[in-house]
Each structure stands twice: as C-alpha cells, then as structure tokens.
Amino acid sequence: MKKALLAIIIGSALAFSFAHAADAKKDAVASKVAGCCVKAAADSKACAHPCCVTAAKEKNNCTKCGGAGAIAAKK
Ligand SMILES: [Zn+2]
Ligand SMILES: [Zn+2]
C-alpha cells in the first residue's frame, strides 16, 4: 500500500511540474521579440524593417522575423 501511495504522490507531483512547465513555455511564446528588433533595441533604435514597423503599430512582435505575440508593455 505504501508503494502505491508513493506512486500517486510522485505521479501528481510530476503532473504538476509538467503543467507548470507548459505554462512557462506558453508565457515565453506569448511575447518573443524578433532578433532584428532585439539588435535595434540594443542600439536604442526601433527596428527599420517594414514588417516589424507594421507589427509594432499593432503592438505585436514581428512574426516574419521570428518574433511572437504582443510587445511587452513598458513599465
Ligand atoms: Zn525587426
Ligand atoms: Zn520583421
């Protein structure tokens, strides 16, 4: 019986960590700045790519350049 109980505890702990990892992954995908825009931001500039400018107007990261989701709001 003890082994069965232990298996249940380990099983639920694993399920929890998997669910948590999936959530973290979802958050990462939710806001990913395109590489070209990261480089531009490092130079304190806005990315000059027309596709990125268009995406930025919609408050989105450029999906064409590898970005994803909405631009993280500045605080
Ligand atoms: Zn860009
Ligand atoms: Zn772009």
Question: Is 63 among the domain residues?
Answer: yes
Question: Distance from the CA of 37 to the center of ligand 1, in angstroms?
Answer: 4
Q: Do 43 and 13 meet the contact criterion of CB atoms below 8 Å apart?
A: no
Q: If you average pLDDT over residues 3-19, what whole number do you get?
A: 78
Residue 65: which domain range? Answer: 2-69
What is the predicted pLDDT for the residue at 74?
66
**Cα 2 to ligand 2 centre (Å):** 57
Q: Is residue 75 part of a domain?
A: no
Buried b (16+ CB within 10 A) or exposed e, 48-64: ebeebeebbeeebbbee
Q: How many domains does the chain have?
A: 1
Residues in the chain: 75
12: phi then psi, degrees, rounded to nearest 5: -70, -35
51 lies in some domain: yes
Q: pLDDT at position 38, please?
A: 96
Whether the predicted pLDDT of 56 surpasses 80: yes
C-beta of residue 71 within 8 angstroms of C-beta of residue 59: yes
